[in-house]
Structure 1
């Protein structure tokens, strides 16, 4: 469960950072986002990437959790890269939807 949450946070982080870039923002939104919005997207993306470390450490401890986190970052970055190459527009929906699903599953599993 925590692994899925860490992956979803990493995926959302990478997709948000990508949407904050000029070129990828044009691919995803059809136009270049304004400078203020791009900065906010990049900042939010980095925060999500850092937050993705927390569930990985909580689930597996510091040694295995760090290795797991790096593996999840690799997988999430690879998938975001593939989406940017082949289907960039759905990225604006997939990232937030995956994150919402992971948080909902995590919240329901905690009960």
Structure 2
């Protein structure tokens, strides 16, 4: 396990959990001060699920099948705690943090993938 590989998995999971949280009425209202449109709800759920799937794929690609799923579960735990903390204390920061996580994940991708 390398630090860039863990960061990549963590950032992708954070973006996925953020999108899934924003697909819920209560959290969307806390962040955007408006109800979630019905047309956006499905898209946020799809993006959130894709983010979690990409996080799993990144963990397995970087650490292999022997340790990748374990690293992924750790990334899920850390990113879920970060999303919950932001929603509870600074909900308006969630939008910025989730959008910043994607370019950071793209920057860590070349560093994380083996050889």
Same fold judged by TM-score > 0.5?
A: yes
Candidates 2, 6, 11, aligned match of 1:8:
11
The residue aligned with 1:67 is 70
Kept in 2, the 8 Å contact 1:5–1:99? The answer is no
Give 1:19-34 correspondences, 5 Å limit.
Answer: 19-34=22-37
Cα distance between partner residues in 1 of 2:50 and 2:43:
11
If the length of structure 2 is used for normalisation, what is the TM-score? Answer: 0.89
Kept in 1, the 8 Å contact 2:7–2:108? The answer is no
Kept in 1, the 8 Å contact 2:15–2:48? The answer is yes
The residue aligned with 1:50 is 53
- CA RMSD in angstroms, aligned pairs only: 1.2
Deviations 1:34-70 (A, max 9, x none): 0110111111101110110111111111121101100
Kept in 2, the 8 Å contact 1:11–1:95? The answer is yes
Matched residue SS, 2:61: helix
Gaps of 5+ in 1: none
How many residues were matched structurally? 109
Cα distance between partner residues in 2 of 1:101 and 1:13:
14
The residue aligned with 2:105 is 102
Gaps of 5+ in 2: none
Cα distance between partner residues in 1 of 2:64 and 2:78:
20
